[in-house]
């Protein structure tokens, strides 16, 4: 049982590791819902240093005062609706642990759909996973997309672009750890970068992008974890949510090699509009659903490469 402190916040009581986990599940219920058991376990692991297996085997081990204080601090932050990824400083994406701060969007499982689509293309293509693929990621945030792709394509190299210098620092840290020497992170608005030297026509085999796509007016209706704690530059897609796609579509068409492949994330109900924007640039598109059966990714190729 947690008790309530003088400020009305939940206080964890001294106990063993399993007792701490149970207290946290109860306290986190109102903010984390069905994820409360998972979040509680992750906080116990971070506070005690015990991993999942050790927790199962040694759940009766007493929690030290400093460990209890650490768990208490994490609980208070979480009850203030800070995302657990920002509290712990990382989030799993694909097969990787990605560093996360308040300067970047927390990588979402739905975004893995872009990597699945990209790898299906690579595996069906004669060049295979060992080819020196040239990859571009537009709006890289934490760098999770190029990190995941480079972890699967050992000879690939990537350029990752973000307008936020703070996000670019996080991306650099992740990419230096996961794919050392194979990724360049550039701080730039994609509009100017898409036209810059080094970004000549057909420069990239594989183009990824998960741009901001939430209509501006909807941001304040999102969960506080997102609306208050994630960077608005990563969320705000303008009045209709499609502003970024209008800029990106001609840039992607220009930079994609004739036999290349692009994988672009979309928000709910945006598939037709984004496909139309890409088709207007002479690209052939298809749509891929995420695990929740929601259209999540538009893929694009030059029509000419399909005809060849």
Ligand X SMILES: C[S@@+](CC[C@H](N)C(=O)[O-])C[C@H]1O[C@@H](n2cnc3c(N)ncnc32)[C@H](O)[C@@H]1O
Chain residues that interact with ligand X, rule: CB under 6 A = 105, 107, 111, 139-142, 144-145, 161-164, 167, 189-190, 210-212, 233-234
> What minimum distance in Å lies between the beta carbon of 80 and ligand X?
23
- As a whole number of angstroms, the distance between CA 131 and CA 164 comes to 31
- Residue 162 annotated as binding site: yes
Nearer to ligand X, 211 or 241 (CB): 211
- As a whole number of angstroms, the distance between CA 99 and CA 192 comes to 28
The answer to whether the beta carbons of residues 31 and 78 sit under 8 Å apart is yes
Nearer to ligand X, 29 or 238 (CB): 238
- Residue 245 annotated as binding site: no
- Residue 140 annotated as binding site: yes
Nearer to ligand X, 75 or 156 (CB): 156
Nearer to ligand X, 17 or 147 (CB): 147
- Residue 210 annotated as binding site: yes
- Residue 94 annotated as binding site: no
Would you call 275 helix, strand, or coil by DSSP? helix
- Residue 211 annotated as binding site: yes
| 155 strand-pairing partners | none
Kind and range of the H or E run holding 253: helix 243-255
Nearer to ligand X, 51 or 239 (CB): 239
The answer to whether the beta carbons of residues 83 and 106 sit under 8 Å apart is yes
Task: Please report how the helices 271-279 and 243-255 are oriented relative to each other, as an axis angle in degrees rounded to 10.
Answer: 40
Nearer to ligand X, 48 or 174 (CB): 174
The three-point CA angle 289-29-48 to 5° equals: 95
The answer to whether the beta carbons of residues 266 and 296 sit under 8 Å apart is yes
Sorted by sequence, the CB contacts under 8 Å of residue 78 that are 6+ apart come out as 28, 31, 32, 39, 43, 84, 87
> What minimum distance in Å lies between the beta carbon of 26 and ligand X?
31
> What minimum distance in Å lies between the beta carbon of 101 and ligand X?
12
> What minimum distance in Å lies between the beta carbon of 173 and ligand X?
14
> What minimum distance in Å lies between the beta carbon of 46 and ligand X?
22
Nearer to ligand X, 16 or 97 (CB): 97
> What minimum distance in Å lies between the beta carbon of 84 and ligand X?
16
- As a whole number of angstroms, the distance between CA 280 and CA 219 comes to 29
> What minimum distance in Å lies between the beta carbon of 54 and ligand X?
31
Distance between alpha carbon 48 and the CA centroid of its chain, in Å? Answer: 27
Length of the chain: 308
- Residue 143 annotated as binding site: yes
Tally of CB atoms within 10 A around 186? 16
- Residue 141 annotated as binding site: yes
| 186 strand-pairing partners | 161
Binding site for S-adenosyl-L-methionine, by residue number, is 139-143, 162, 190, 210
Binding site, by residue number, is 139-143, 162, 190, 210-213
């Amino acid at each position: 049982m947690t008790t309530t402190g003088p400020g009305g916040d939940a206080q964890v009581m001294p106990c063993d590791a399993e007792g701490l986990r149970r207290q946290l599940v109860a306290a986190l219920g109102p903010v984390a819902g069905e994820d409360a058991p998972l979040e509680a376990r992750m906080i116990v692991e971070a506070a005690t240093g015990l991993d999942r297996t050790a927790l199962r085997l040694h759940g009766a081990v007493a929690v030290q005062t400093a460990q209890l204080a650490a768990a208490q601090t994490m609980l208070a932050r979480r009850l203030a609706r800070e995302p657990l990824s920002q509290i712990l400083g990382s989030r799993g994406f694909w097969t990787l642990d990605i560093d996360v701060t308040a300067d970047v969007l927390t990588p979402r499982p739905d975004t893995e759909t872009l990597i699945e689509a990209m790898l299906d293309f690579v595996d069906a293509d004669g060049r295979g996973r060992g080819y020196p693929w040239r990859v571009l990621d537009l709006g890289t945030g934490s760098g999770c997309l190029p990190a995941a792709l480079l972890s699967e394509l050992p000879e690939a190299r990537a350029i990752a672009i973000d307008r936020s210098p703070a996000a670019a620092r996080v991306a650099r840290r992740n990419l230096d750890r996961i794919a050392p020497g194979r990724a360049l992170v550039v701080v730039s608005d994609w509009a100017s970068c898409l036209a810059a030297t080094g970004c000549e026509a057909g420069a990239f085999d594989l183009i990824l992008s998960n741009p901001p796509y939430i209509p501006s007016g909807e941001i304040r209706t999102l969960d506080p974890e997102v609306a208050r704690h994630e960077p608005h530059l990563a969320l705000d897609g303008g009045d209709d949510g499609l502003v970024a796609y209008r800029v990106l579509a001609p840039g992607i068409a220009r930079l994609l090699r004739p036999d290349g492949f692009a994988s672009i994330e979309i928000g709910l109900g945006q598939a037709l509009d984004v496909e139309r924007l890409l088709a207007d640039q002479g690209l052939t598109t298809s749509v891929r659903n995420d695990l929740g059966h929601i259209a999540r990714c538009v893929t694009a190729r030059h029509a000419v490469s399909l005809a060849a």
